[in-house]
Amino acid sequence: MMYALTNASVFDGNELLNNYAVIIDKERIAAVCPEQDVSPQIKQINLNGATLCPGFIDLQLNGCGGVMLNGDFSNTNLELMHRTNLKSGTTHFLPTLITTDDQEMEQAIAVSRSNQQNHGSGNLGLHLEGPYLSKIKKGIHSEQHIRQLNQQRLQFLLDNHDAIKKITLAPEHVTAHDVQALTEAGILVSLGHTNASYQQASDAIKAGASFATHLFNAMSSITGREPGVVGAVFDHQLYAGIIVDGHHVAAANIRLAKRLLEHKLYLVTDATAAAGANISHFDFVGREIQVQNGVCIGDDGTLGGSALTMIEAIENCVQTVGLSLTESLRMASLYPASALSIDDILGRIKPGYSANLSAFNKDFKLTLTVSDGKLTQF
């Protein structure tokens, strides 16, 4: 089916285009052209002046829509997460598994692989957040499941590199050889939940680590004599996800990180079951998390992920942090696509690119999402 999206301000990943239409043919973008050039034979869908942009890409999503990836490993849950994401403009995501035992890790890998192969949803591959982390910087993760990476489990990860897109680990608790082996297998290594020194982080980066997980949160920070992991991220210009929900990171720190990392800073939600769901509490790997005024909190006051959606993160970037709309949109689409080296197919509105788009009005309310050419209006 071919159709044209019209009467929108089109952000193509580079600039805003007015009086342009986007023509979709099956699962691809066929053309971006002046509206007057659209053939009358093509069905037109009027977006009523909304902003049309590339679909958002979330590289850290623990759950949403009332469910978590942990605890119920099923295609049903992954598809529910995908459908919930579409309501807030996210067309692709890395389902993120929180620290758990080996058996559940193996189940999650098998289910995610099956989901990718058979369902064709927005699942870009599994993100393992743990279990090879620092207990000092564990955050909400279960201390009883945090453990060392041994040779047997390293080989297991390498053997399943096709399904594991990314792994978050603490560099002080693995070897440079481990990081190098994971990287060479095609698994993206991200520094997170770590109390490493600047030197330990730098050694891991030299071995292949190229990402940082939820920048500033659960990692050693900058002091006068010790730059810590945050300093290493800035100094080595890693890709870094950041949670812009008004609770995890101060607006001034977000602006600072943006100036230092530029296009390598991208938005993540770190979303939990509370995102896109009206619930008061949920289970987070055996711990009850209360949802209070949109904040997810454990019984000891520790933040337990977020209730954030990507369109809300973009709105916060514009209205609270002070970033431009176009740069905020890049942080939600083009930059994460570039981080995964898939910006030749996602992250732009351009002929030949995959038809994954989102549209929202001046109040940052979603009006339409296109997922692999399939259109959903709200």
**Domain ranges in the chain?**
2-53+351-377, 56-339
Instruction: Output the CA–CA distances (angstroms, integers) from residue 243 to 51, 134, 266, 302, 339, in the order listed.
Output: 23, 20, 9, 15, 16
Which residues partner with 8 through β-bridges?
A: 20, 50
SS3 labels along 208-261: CCCEECCCCCCECCCCCCCCHHHHHHHHHCCEEEEECCCCCCCHHHHHHHHHHH
At residue 317 the predicted structure's pLDDT band, cuts being 50, 70 and 90, is: very high
Instruction: Say what the pLDDT of residue 252 is.
Output: 98
Q: Are 182 and 189 in contact (CB under 8 A)?
A: yes
Tell me the fold of 56-339.
TIM Barrel (3.20.20)
- Strand duo 239-243 + 211-212: pairing: parallel
CATH architecture group of domain 2-53+351-377: Roll (2.30)
C-alpha to C-alpha distances, 225 to 215, 220, 228, nearest whole angstrom: 20, 13, 9
Under the banding of pLDDT at 50, 70 and 90, the label for residue 301 is confident
Q: For residues 136 and 173, is the Cβ–Cβ distance under 8 A?
A: no
Q: What is the pLDDT of residue 279?
A: 86
Long-range contacts of 14-21 (CB under 8 A, 24+ apart): 14/348, 15/326, 16/51, 16/326
pLDDT one-digit tens code per residue, 116-132: 998 767 999 999 999 99
What does the angle CA 261 – CA 248 – CA 307 come to, to the nearest 5 degrees? Answer: 115
What pairing do the DSSP bridges indicate for beta strands 43-54 and 357-360? antiparallel
Indicate the pTM of the whole model: 0.96
What Å distances lie between residue 73 and 18, 79, 141, 307, CA to CA? 44, 11, 18, 21
265-268 β-sheet, strand order: 56-61, 90-98, 126-129, 164-169, 188-191, 211-212, 239-243, 265-268
- What percentage of the chain carries pLDDT values higher than 90? 86
CA dist., res. 57 & res. 267, Å (int): 9
pLDDT of 312 reads 97
Report the pLDDT value the prediction gives residue 135, as an integer from 0 to 100: 97
Both tokens of 141, joined, read: 């993760």
Write out pLDDT tens, residues 30-55: 999 999 999 999 999 999 999 999 99
* For residue 63, pLDDT beyond 80: yes
What's the token pair of residue 270? 């770190």
pLDDT for 87? 96
Under DSSP, the state recorded for 337 is: H
* Confidence check: pLDDT of 72 > 90: no
List the catalytic residues: 270
Question: 288 forms bridges with which residues in the sheet?
Answer: 283
Q: What is the pLDDT of residue 9?
A: 98
Are the beta carbons of 272 and 296 closer than 8 angstroms? yes
Number of Cβ atoms within 10 Å of the Cβ of 4: 20
Whether the Cβ atoms of residue 312 and residue 88 lie closer than 8 Å to each other: yes
Express each pLDDT in 268-300 by its tens digit: 999 998 898 888 888 877 788 888 878 888 877
Q: What number is the average pLDDT over the span 358-367?
A: 97
Task: Give per-residue pLDDT as tens, 191-250.
Answer: 999 999 999 999 999 999 999 999 999 999 999 999 999 999 999 999 999 999 999 999
